[in-house]
Amino acid sequence: MNLWILLGLAFTALAEGSSQKRGAHSCPDLCSCSFPSSLEVVCSEISLTHFPSNGLSSNTTQLSIQSTNLSSITASHLSAMPLLSNLQLFHTNLKNLPSDLLKDVPHLDLLDLTGNRLVYLPPKVFSHASLSSLVLKNNLLERADAEWFPDNSNITMLDLSGNRLKGVPAALLQKLPKLEDLDLSDNDLQDLQPDTLKNLPCLESLNLAGNKLRSLSPTIFTHNPKLSHLFLQENQLQEIPATLLRGLRELDLLLLNQNQLQHFPLGLLDERKSSFRIILTGNPWVCDEKMEYLWKWLADHPEDVTFLEDVTCAGPVALKNRQVVSLTGSDLGLIPN
C-alpha cells in the first residue's frame, strides 16, 4: 500500500480517537472541568445566565456554579448527573427551588446554596436525597419549615446563618436526629423554646452568635451531652442560668463576648475539661461582691481564658476599666474571714 495512503489512514485514526476522547470528556461553555476517575465541573462566569446543560457528562460528581447570573434550576437539569454527590450553587440569583429538585440525584451528599435570594422553600424540597450537609447561609429566609425534611433525615450539618429567622421550630430539629453541627448565627432570634434542641443527642457544635437573645432556658442544653463548641457571642444576654452548662462534660469552647453580662452564677464553670477555653470580653462586668465566683475562677484558670487582660470592670466607677484578675477581695467589698 502506498506510504502516503498509510500515513493518511493513521492520521485519520488519530483524529477520530482524539475526537472521541474530547466527546467523552466534554465540558460546558463558560465552565472548567477536571477529569480524574470522577468529573468535577466549575462554572464561575458572570455571563452565565442559564444552567450549563450542554456538555455536562453523566459521570459528573461535583458541580459548582458560583458568582453567576443563574436564575433557575430544575430537577431535569440535575437528572443528567445521576452520580452527583456535591452541588454548590452560591452567589447566584436563585430566588426559589422546585420541590422535586433533588429527586434524581440519590447520591447527593452536600448541597451549598450560600448567597442566593431565597425567601421561601417548598415542602419536601430536601426529601429526595441522602443529604448529610446543607448550607443555606446568607439568603433571605424568614422562617425555617419542618416540612422541608423527611423524618429521620441523614443531615449532620445544617447552616442557616445570615438569614432573617426570628425562631426555629422544635419540629424541624426533631427531624434531624443525626445533626452534629448547627449554625444559626446572624439571624433575628430573640428566644429559643426550652425543647428546641431536645432531640439532638449528637450535637457537637452550636452557633447562636449575632442574634438578639436576651436569655436562655436553664435546661436548653440538657439533651446535648456531646456539645463541645458553643458560640453565644454578640447577643443581648443579661444573665446565665447557673445550670446552663450542667452535663456538658465535652465542652471545649464557650464564647460569651459582646453580651450584657454583669455577673456569673455560682458553679457555672465547675467541672470543665482541661482543654476548656472561654472568651468573656465586651461585657459590662460589675465588680462588686457578686463578682466573687468569676474573680476566683479567673485567678485559678488564667490559661483557660482568651484575652484575659481584656476582661475588665464596667463599674463601679472607682474600678472602671480595671482588669478583673487584678482586683483584691477588698476591691470587691468582700468581708475577710
* CATH number for the domain that contains residue 272: 3.80.10.10
Q: Indicate whether 3 pLDDT > 70.
A: no
178-187 tens-digit pLDDT: 999 999 999 9
d(CA 276, CA 85) in angstroms, rounded, equals: 36
283-311 average pLDDT score: 97
Q: Computed over its alpha carbons, how large is the radius of gyration of the chain? A: 27
Asked whether residue 319 is domain-assigned, the answer is: yes
Q: Indicate whether 100 pLDDT > 80.
A: yes
131-154 average pLDDT score: 97
Asked whether residue 106 is domain-assigned, the answer is: no
30-41 average pLDDT score: 85
pLDDT at 53: 92
Contact 215, 187 (CB under 8 A): no
Confidence class for position 38, pLDDT limits 50, 70, 90? low
Asked whether residue 113 is domain-assigned, the answer is: no
Asked whether residue 190 is domain-assigned, the answer is: no
Asked whether residue 292 is domain-assigned, the answer is: yes
Asked whether residue 277 is domain-assigned, the answer is: yes
Confidence class for position 15, pLDDT limits 50, 70, 90? very low
Domain count, the chain: 1
Q: Where are the beta strands (DSSP E) in the chain?
A: 31-34, 39-43, 60-66, 86-90, 110-112, 133-135, 157-159, 181-183, 205-207, 229-231, 253-255, 277-279, 285-286, 305-306, 313-315
* Weakest-pLDDT range from 37-51, 94-108, 138-152: 37-51
Q: Indicate whether 13 pLDDT > 80.
A: no
pLDDT at 19: 35
77-87 average pLDDT score: 96
Asked whether residue 333 is domain-assigned, the answer is: yes
pTM of the model: 0.91
Q: Which three cell numbers stand for residue 81?
A: 448527573
Q: Indicate whether 236 pLDDT > 60.
A: yes
Give the domain extent around 307: 261-337
Confidence class for position 249, pLDDT limits 50, 70, 90? very high
Confidence class for position 22, pLDDT limits 50, 70, 90? very low
d(CA 235, CA 258) in angstroms, rounded, equals: 7
Asked whether residue 136 is domain-assigned, the answer is: no
pLDDT at 335: 74
232-252 average pLDDT score: 97
